[in-house]
Structure 1
Amino acid sequence: MTDARSVYQKLRDEIAAGALPPGSPLREIPLAERFGVSRTPIREALRRLEQDRLLVPGDRGMVVRAIDPHEVVQVYDMRVLLEAEAAAQAARDRRPADLVRLEGLLARDRGLTDPDDATRIRTNLEFHAALWQATHNPVLVDLLERLTVHLVHAPRSTLSVDDRWSHALDEHARLVDAVRDHDEAAARAVAAEHMATAREIRLRLLRDAAAGG
């Protein structure tokens, strides 16, 4: 059954994955036709997305919001802190099933052959989401999900730069090792370094874009 909640979650996931980039129009009638529902649940879902600051009013309906560079930096600063905390809590509180999932996702990503940017974004989000779930801390998971979706503001991800994808997978492997060993300090350090590197790459991309490069 399709209702406002499922429409909201589907659109939110598409924004998070970059399938609906900034500026994408979201209009009630086409969405109602797409989901096979009336305009009422569509209107409610769009209202929730606007409250999440993911949509803003456009010329003809709502559009996906782009965040400014200053806000991007603020989001990354918070993610460095929260990802480090999540990794430490995952190392402390993970269960056997959590470790199996993380190892499986890492193996899957290692096996990808020259994935495109959309695939890298999606699989990276899935790995990080699995790490957050391993904390068994719903408050922390909610905060990280909200921050992550706000980082979708450019068609190019930090994982597309140079050899960042392979290095990121190496860092994911170190995170899995720390979680496996219940090493909270190592997990915290690796996660903080991982996100700090992403932050620096994003800043470089923003500077290049501002300079027209």
Structure 2
Amino acid sequence: MRCEEGPLSEVYDRLRAEIVDGTLAPGAALVETTLAERYGTSRTPVREALRRLQQDGLVERADRGMRVRTRSPEEILEIYEARIALEATAAAGAAQRRSDFDLVRISRAQKTMTATPASDPAAMAESNRAVHEAIWAASHNGTIVDLLTRLNNHLTRYPWTTLSMPGRWEEAIVEHAEIIDAIEKRDSDRAYELAREHMTKARELRLRIYGDDATA
């Protein structure tokens, strides 16, 4: 059903989904008139949706208009350079400032992750993200949570999950348990170092997957 002034949220959600799932490939031109016709709306919500997606890091300006942001190993390194530092800082902050309720929330997320079958990449990624987000929240640092959320948005353009690599799922569960133990014991130095090592491994796997895909 066509809607002349379709709600911004609907256009944003549909456009974002098509970028993340690869329907709109990296580098694809995003022409307002074409997208408005595609989604059965006017150009205004499309323009606003593109503006939000640019803030999310999913689209970028090109010579003419906007395009889906391209991928590169250099970008992976940039994202993880920031994410490693922020994840480690969040874990240390959680060890210092976590409440009993924070521990319950983290524990529940970890149990859900442990119960998630390794045969479902989407569920694996979702449950893993929930553990990380629970730790971010436990840091009680809104700036860190905001920055990590933005970095996560950048990574959604890379559809492969490092958790599908042989043995990585089980390894990640163990690493999470060690980080959580440090948080419970309020050992901020250990939590920092464990989180840093955890995300460094994720970076190396992400680069390996990107390289394998580029040469396939």
TM-score (norm 2): 0.80
**Where do residues 79-98 of structure 1 align in structure 2 (5 Å cutoff)?**
79-98=83-102
Amino acid at match of 2:36: E
Q: CA deviation at 1:30?
A: 4.4
Max radius of gyration: which structure? 2
Amino acid at match of 1:101: R
Given that residues 21 and 155 in structure 1 are in contact (C-alpha distance below 8 angstroms), is that contact kept between their aligned partners in structure 2? no
Cα gap change, 1:41 to 1:172, in 2 (>3 Å): same
Tell me, in whole angstroms, the C-alpha distance in 1 between the residues paired with 2:172 and 2:202: 9
Which of 120, 142, 150 is equivalent to 2:124?
A: 120
Tell me, in whole angstroms, the C-alpha distance in 2 between the residues paired with 1:171 and 1:194: 7
> Residue 140 of structure 2 aligns to a residue in which SS?
coil
Which of 206, 211, 214 is equivalent to 1:207?
A: 211
Which of 27, 33, 36 is equivalent to 1:28?
A: 36
> Residue 155 of structure 2 aligns to a residue in which SS?
coil
**Unpaired runs of 5+ in structure 2?**
1-5
Aligned to 2:59: 55
Tell me, in whole angstroms, the C-alpha distance in 1 between the residues paired with 2:194 and 2:144: 18
Tell me, in whole angstroms, the C-alpha distance in 1 between the residues paired with 2:79 and 2:15: 18
Cα gap change, 1:120 to 1:46, in 2 (>3 Å): same
Given that residues 79 and 151 in structure 2 are in contact (C-alpha distance below 8 angstroms), is that contact kept between their aligned partners in structure 1? yes
Q: Sequence identity of aligned pairs in percent?
A: 39
Cα gap change, 1:42 to 1:22, in 2 (>3 Å): closer
The answer as to 2:109 corresponding to 1:105 is yes
Aligned to 2:135: 131
> Residue 190 of structure 1 aligns to a residue in which SS?
helix
Which of 128, 138, 149 is equivalent to 1:145?
A: 149
Tell me, in whole angstroms, the C-alpha distance in 2 between the residues paired with 1:110 and 1:63: 38
> Residue 71 of structure 2 aligns to a residue in which SS?
coil
Tell me, in whole angstroms, the C-alpha distance in 1 between the residues paired with 2:51 and 2:45: 10
**Unpaired runs of 5+ in structure 1?**
none
Given that residues 22 and 153 in structure 1 are in contact (C-alpha distance below 8 angstroms), is that contact kept between their aligned partners in structure 2? no
Q: CA deviation at 1:68?
A: 1.3
**Where do residues 1-20 of structure 1 align in structure 2 (5 Å cutoff)?**
4=8, 6-7=9-10, 10=13, 14=17, 18-19=20-21
Which of 50, 66, 71 is equivalent to 2:70?
A: 66
Amino acid at match of 1:45: A
Amino acid at match of 1:172: H
Q: CA deviation at 1:100?
A: 0.7
Amino acid at match of 1:28: A
Tell me, in whole angstroms, the C-alpha distance in 2 between the residues paired with 1:50 and 1:206: 23
Given that residues 98 and 139 in structure 2 are in contact (C-alpha distance below 8 angstroms), is that contact kept between their aligned partners in structure 1? yes
Cα gap change, 1:88 to 1:144, in 2 (>3 Å): same
Q: CA deviation at 1:69?
A: 1.2
Tell me, in whole angstroms, the C-alpha distance in 2 between the residues paired with 1:154 and 1:164: 18
Q: CA deviation at 1:67?
A: 2.3
Q: CA deviation at 1:152?
A: 2.5
> Residue 131 of structure 2 aligns to a residue in which SS?
helix
> Residue 162 of structure 1 aligns to a residue in which SS?
coil
> Residue 150 of structure 1 aligns to a residue in which SS?
helix
Cα gap change, 1:203 to 1:22, in 2 (>3 Å): farther
Aligned to 2:190: 186
Q: CA deviation at 1:78?
A: 1.3
> Residue 105 of structure 1 aligns to a residue in which SS?
helix
